[in-house]
Amino acid sequence: MKISCISQREAKLLPILRQELAMSSTLVKRLKYRGAYFVNGLCVRTNYIVRPGDLVEVILDEEDPVYPAQEGELSILFEDDSLIAIDKPPGMMMHPSPARDTGTLANYLLSYYRKTGQPCAVHPVSRLDRDTFGVVLLAKNGHVHSKMHQQLLQGQLHKLYHALVVGQPPLEEGLILAPIARKSGDSLLRCVRSDGKEARTRYRVLERRLGCAHLELQPLTGRTHQLRVHCAYMGFPIAGDPQYGQDAYGLPHQQLCARSLGFTHPMTEKFIEITSNQKLSLDFLGVDKV
């Protein structure tokens, strides 16, 4: 992928890259000795003097990953030159780990890029637990990933989840304010604790049935396992969650879906909303209506 701009001032190339093209310092350093910077078609270094009207171009190459490409099925919800959104199924890991380097979304996506002739890498913008399903967004290069990460840090990625829970909130909608911390030094699990990091979740009841409910959840912060921990803490754990809830309904996975994701496109500046084709229903629990 190539990004470019017409310089409006006289300056060294470096501030043009950092300010006009909004490249991160990490990306600028990574590309510094790779022949990636061009001014009016001439390959230059970052100390080159750029003048008004000069065409500045950057070739965004990507490093080869250490894990293999693997052919597998992907449900693509959105794709352009910068981003791709996948409707991830339950049971699929996002990325290889030291114990497992195949069968993940990253393996399948890398294969898809190679089959379609796209020199892209796998840069997750949003992430889901293995058994959480729905919309995941990935950038195709480090520059776009950096710009999307800034939106994430500024709370400009609008995420909505749907969940089936055991138990019911007392109100039709509300805000959960409960700090989240790691359970212990080496544990992957989290808990609500006074010394934890601030965590906020907005909820709305979509449907109630005997002993359970269908909720819409909006995480206002991005703590690990936040929705699962908050629902369990409030007394209505997510159905099928063996770590924070219980498996009373014999479900194969937790009933938590990343239903939609909204954001401003980093290149076109248009607002985009992507919705999962996967849906939840209290019919899954076999519970009679009230």
Alpha helical stretches, state H, 13-93: 13-15, 25-31
- Domain extents in the chain: 2-59, 76-155, 159-258
| pLDDT given for residue 289 in this prediction | 61
- Between the alpha carbon of residue 26 and those of residues 6, 23, 221, the distances in Å are 23, 8, 25
Average pLDDT over residues 86-105: 93
Looking at 48-128, list the stretches that DSSP marks H as alpha helix, in order from N- to C-terminal side: 105-115
Instruction: List the single range of 52-56, 76-80, 227-231, 284-288 with lowest mean pLDDT.
Output: 284-288
DSSP 283: G
Query: Is 129 noted as a catalytic residue in this protein?
Result: yes
Give per-residue pLDDT as tens, 69-86. 999 999 999 999 999 999
Over residues 6-25, mean pLDDT: 90
Contacts 24+ apart (CB under 8 A), 172-177: 172/204, 172/205, 173/202, 173/203, 173/204, 173/205, 174/202, 174/203, 175/200, 175/201, 175/202, 175/203, 176/200, 176/201, 176/202, 176/203, 176/230, 176/233, 176/234
- Residue 216 CA from chain centroid, whole number: 18
Superfamily of domain 2-59 in CATH is RNA-binding S4 domain (3.10.290.10)
Q: How many CA atoms lie within 13 A of 195 on its CB side?
A: 3
Q: Do 159-258 and 76-155 fall under one CATH topology?
A: yes
Residue 185: pLDDT band by 50, 70, 90 thresholds?
confident
120-137 pLDDT, tens per residue? 889 999 999 999 999 999
pLDDT of residue 257: 98
> Could you tell me how many residues make up the chain?
290
Mean of pLDDT over the chain: 92
Q: Is the pLDDT of residue 290 over 60?
A: no
52, with CB counted inside 10 A (0-12, 13-18, 19+), is exposed
Query: Which residues make beta-bridge pairs with 176?
Result: 201
Residue 61: the pLDDT is 73
Q: What was the pLDDT predicted at 275? A: 98
Q: With pLDDT > 90 as the criterion, what percentage of the chain qualifies?
A: 71
- Measured distance CA(54)–CA(192) in Å, rounded: 55
Q: Where does the chain show beta strands of DSSP type E?
A: 2-6, 11-12, 37-39, 42-43, 49-50, 55-59, 76-79, 83-88, 123-124, 133-139, 158-166, 173-177, 180-182, 190-192, 200-209, 212-219, 256-264, 271-275
- Which whole number is the average pLDDT over 29-35? 83
**How large a percentage of the chain has pLDDT more than 70?**
97
State the catalytic residue, choosing from 54, 129, 131, 241: 129
Residue 245: pLDDT over 90: no
pLDDT confidence bin for 60, thresholds 50/70/90: confident
pLDDT at site 230: 98
The CATH number assigned to the domain with range 159-258 reads 3.30.2350.10
Residue 247's pLDDT is what? 66
Q: Please state the pTM of the whole predicted model.
A: 0.85
Fold for the domain defined by 76-155: Pseudouridine synthase (3.30.2350)
